[in-house]
Chain A
Amino acid sequence: MQNIRETRGLEAPRYVMTIEKIISVLPYTTPFLFVDNLENIDENGVTGTYTYPPESYFYKGHFVNNPITPGVILTETMAQIGLVCLGIFLMKDKIEETAEFPKMAMTSNQTDYFLPVYPGEKVTVISRKEYFRFGKLKCQVEMRNEQDELVCKGIIAGMIARK
């Protein structure tokens, strides 16, 4: 386990906001966790993936006998990977200091959709930070399918409590 040094070691343990750590502190769980993995993350952006399980609850109703991932779920996926994971990374010092998860809220999103996502499809979300100032994180986010086709893209912003 690479996190072993985060436990009380011999040297002063330097906290590292690893990808595993980010996912472990996400304030979501089934059936509303839409992050499987992060491929990379830095100050300027994040890339992550999620596969929609065919048994997901929303396929029962969207649509009748014609399961397609709802647009709001695609947007939520873009927000969880593109905004919340990046927000955790950017706030890592604060999270370390207070050992508390910062309060976050989506404040705006504008998304265009291009292709449907069917049950079992894996998507990749790529988010690029536009700015993070005064607690507001604004990102340009896009989602691609396994054929690297553009599924949807948009601009999503949220507020992160700084205290």
Chain B
Amino acid sequence: MNKTELIDSLKEIIKPYIQDEAAFQNLTEDTKFIDDLKINSANLVDIVLDVEDKFDIHIEDDAMENMLTVKGAMDIITDKIGAK
């Protein structure tokens, strides 16, 4: 899966939880889930669970703490898929 495909998959997962449509339309790797997309911490957990299902991976508590930005999420997913 290339970078564009990965971002597209992520966007599909996070779309139901975003509260700032403009920030979502202008999403980049640097976009922050909570600060920019106004997602709350509970829905960020939902995103992590959806990511686990979508990519068939398991994310630990420590790893989630790095999942604050789109890039952070991409790094974790890439890392976990690579380790499979």
Contacts and interface: CB of A to CB of B under 8 A. Distances in A.
Interface stretch (B3-11, B21-29, B42-50, B69-77): B42-50
B40 interface: yes
A146 B41 CA distance: 37
Category for how many chain B residues contact A: 10 to 19
Interface of A: 107-108, 131, 133-136, 157-159, 162
Contacts of B42: 107-108, 136, 157-159
Given A136-B42, A136-B45, A158-B42, 19 more contacts: A107-B40, A107-B41, A107-B42, A107-B43, A108-B42, A131-B49, A133-B45, A133-B48, A134-B44, A134-B45, A134-B61, A134-B64, A135-B41, A135-B45, A136-B41, A136-B46, A159-B41, A159-B42, A162-B61
Contacts of A133: 45, 48-49
Interface of B: 40-46, 48-49, 61, 64
A39 to B, nearest CB: 28
A84 to B, nearest CB: 15
A159 B49 CA distance: 15
Of B40, B43, B45, B49, most buried by chain A (CB within 10 Å of CB) is B45
A108 B43 CA distance: 9
B72 to A, nearest CB: 14
